[in-house]
């Protein structure tokens, strides 16, 4: 077995450590205790939508095996655990009273985490919109933001006496652009720029939910978005313009309303947001942190004449890539660049940053007999922890780093074909086997105590 790389030499002092999962990806038990249907149930049950035809069952089966997950977290030594709460377990139809049986699962999980000295850090929404709300317009409808606020109130009433740290919405960019614009994620719509109202309604939902959580005693509330550093494919004016537009749509459109209380100029897209009086004040109500999920930079070229959108992603020259292919390049320096640019761009409007997800998938076997040596993942993680340290050295306030993912899980439209976990999971038996990256991360955390 090859030696693992040396622990990163550049680790920010006082950085908190976390690992993450999401409900639909790890829980299984899709019909247990009256759980309702979400847009992801509908998406995976439609033939052809998921690469390997899988349906997230049983997968890690964390609904029944969550104490194994807590034990893994305890032995890892993390400060916090980022998990998500399934809206359709709490409100099977997306409205009305909360389900006591659905809430009981999260109540037990919170207590088990606290008993091990691990801070529970739930995400209220990780893409599992109730199907009934999607049938009424989903995130295209302003009413969904109100429904989300009511759901947040139910969860806060049940858990807010013990849970003080919350993410509201995970990666609104993925929901808007991949779910509603091009249809490769649930709910599978292909509206292109007509999808943009979903941006505003998710951000409004964040603001309304944050108020509900704070009213129940939350200490820290924030949203988390998938961000990317954008490289133009060349020095040509057309590629530079295309890169600017992509940065506008992927990054600034989601960050600026939350951080500055205003949308960027959307005239180049010919778009307007459905803003009503008071909305931006709700959206920009002081965030206690800003969550950044980061996986890779994006290189953008101008799209051919007549294309429906003005930009197209292309491979990043000279970069290795993860198991997702050449459009997922490995470039830790791009994380530093994004964080430093955010600090320079937003200044005092930028609260402390939490890296809410960072990780990589690589080809790995479905079954193992012992610890899988995943040197590529260790190298990836080491490089990105060092990248965070480089940003901190340049004045960026980063409080926490989160590995995605604790477990191999159901990777959305790619099913069980992509493995991000630092713990291997046999997706048929749910058996958990820590990989060498698990031991590396455990040792890294221990070295900072």
Q: Domain limits of the chain?
A: 16-447
Rounded distance between C-alpha atoms, residue 408 and residue 437, angstroms: 12
3-state secondary structure of 9: coil
Would you give the distance in Å from CA 108 to the centre of its chain? 23
Residue 306: the pLDDT is 94
Rounded distance between C-alpha atoms, residue 400 and residue 404, angstroms: 13
Homologous superfamily in CATH for domain 16-447 = Glycosidases (3.20.20.80)
Residues 6+ apart with CB under 8 A from 444: 7, 8, 11, 17, 385
Residue 5: the pLDDT is 53
State how beta strands 16-20 and 80-84 pair: parallel
Residue 10: the pLDDT is 82
Residues marked active site are found at: 171, 357
Residue 270: the pLDDT is 87
Q: Which residues of the chain have pLDDT under 70?
A: 1-9
Query: Could you read off the pLDDT of 350-402 as tens digits, one per residue?
Result: 999 999 999 999 999 999 999 999 999 999 999 999 999 999 999 999 999 99
Radius of gyration of the chain (CA): 21
Tokens matching residue 431: 């058996």
Query: Could you read off the pLDDT of 331-354 as tens digits, one per residue?
Result: 999 999 999 999 999 999 999 999
User: Is 321 marked as binding a ligand?
Assistant: no
Tell the residue number behind the tokens 């400060």, with chain if given: 79
Rounded distance between C-alpha atoms, residue 333 and residue 32, angstroms: 44
Residue 1: the pLDDT is 34
User: Is 394 marked as binding a ligand?
Assistant: no
User: Is 246 marked as binding a ligand?
Assistant: no
Residue 2: the pLDDT is 41
Q: Backbone phi, then psi, for 283, in 5-degree steps?
A: -65, -40
User: Is 404 marked as binding a ligand?
Assistant: yes
User: Is 411 marked as binding a ligand?
Assistant: yes
Residue 8: the pLDDT is 55
Rounded distance between C-alpha atoms, residue 162 and residue 217, angstroms: 9
Please provide the DSSP assignment of 386-414 as one string: HHHHHHHHTT--EEEEEEE-SB----GGG
């Amino acid at each position: 077995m090859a030696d693992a790389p040396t622990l990163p030499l550049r680790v920010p002092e006082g950085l908190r450590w976390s690992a993450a999962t999401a409900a639909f990806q790890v829980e299984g038990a899709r019909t247990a205790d009256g759980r309702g249907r979400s847009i992801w149930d509908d998406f995976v049950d439609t033939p052809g939508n998921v690469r390997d035809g899988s349906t997230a069952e049983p997968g890690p089966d964390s609904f029944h095996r969550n104490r194994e997950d807590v034990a893994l977290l305890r032995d890892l030594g993390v400060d916090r655990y980022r998990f998500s709460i399934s809206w359709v377990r709490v409100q099977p139809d997306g409205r009305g009273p909360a389900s006591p049986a659905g809430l009981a699962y999260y109540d037990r999980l919170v207590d088990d985490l606290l008993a091990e000295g691990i801070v529970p850090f739930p995400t209220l929404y990780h893409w599992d919109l109730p199907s009934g709300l999607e049938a009424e317009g989903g995130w295209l409808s302003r009413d969904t933001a109100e429904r989300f606020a009511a759901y947040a109130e139910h969860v806060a009433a049940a858990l807010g006496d013990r849970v003080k740290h919350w993410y509201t919405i995970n990666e609104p960019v993925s929901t808007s652009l991949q779910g509603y614009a091009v249809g490769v994620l649930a709910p599978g719509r292909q509206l292109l720029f007509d999808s943009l109202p979903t941006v505003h309604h998710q951000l409004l939902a964040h603001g309304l939910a944050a108020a509900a959580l704070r009213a129940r005693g939350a200490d820290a509330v924030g949203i988390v978005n998938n961000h990317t550093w954008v490289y133009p494919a060349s020095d040509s004016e057309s590629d530079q313009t295309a890169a600017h537009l992509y940065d506008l749509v992927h990054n600034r459109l989601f960050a600026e309303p939350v951080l500055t209380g205003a949308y960027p100029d959307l005239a180049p897209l010919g778009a307007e947001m459905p803003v009503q009086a008071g909305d931006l004040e709700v959206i920009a109500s002081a965030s206690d942190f800003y969550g950044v999920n980061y996986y890779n930079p994006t290189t953008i070229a101008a799209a051919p004449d007549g294309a429906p959108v003005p930009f197209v992603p292309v491979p990043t020259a000279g970069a290795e890539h993860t198991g997702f292919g050449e459009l997922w390049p490995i470039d830790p320096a791009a994380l530093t660049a994004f964080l430093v640019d955010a600090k320079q761009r937003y200044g005092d409007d930028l609260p402390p940053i939490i890296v809410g997800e960072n990780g990589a998938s690589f080809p790995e076997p479905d079954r193992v007999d012992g610890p899988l040596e995943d040197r590529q993942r260790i190298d990836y993680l080491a490089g990105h922890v060092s990248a965070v340290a480089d940003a901190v050295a340049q004045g960026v306030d980063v409080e926490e780093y989160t590995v995605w993912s604790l477990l191999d899980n159901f990777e959305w439209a790619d099913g069980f074909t992509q493995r991000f976990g630092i713990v291997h999971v046999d997706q048929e038996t749910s058996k958990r086997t820590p990989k060498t990256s698990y031991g590396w991360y455990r040792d890294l955390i221990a070295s900072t105590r």
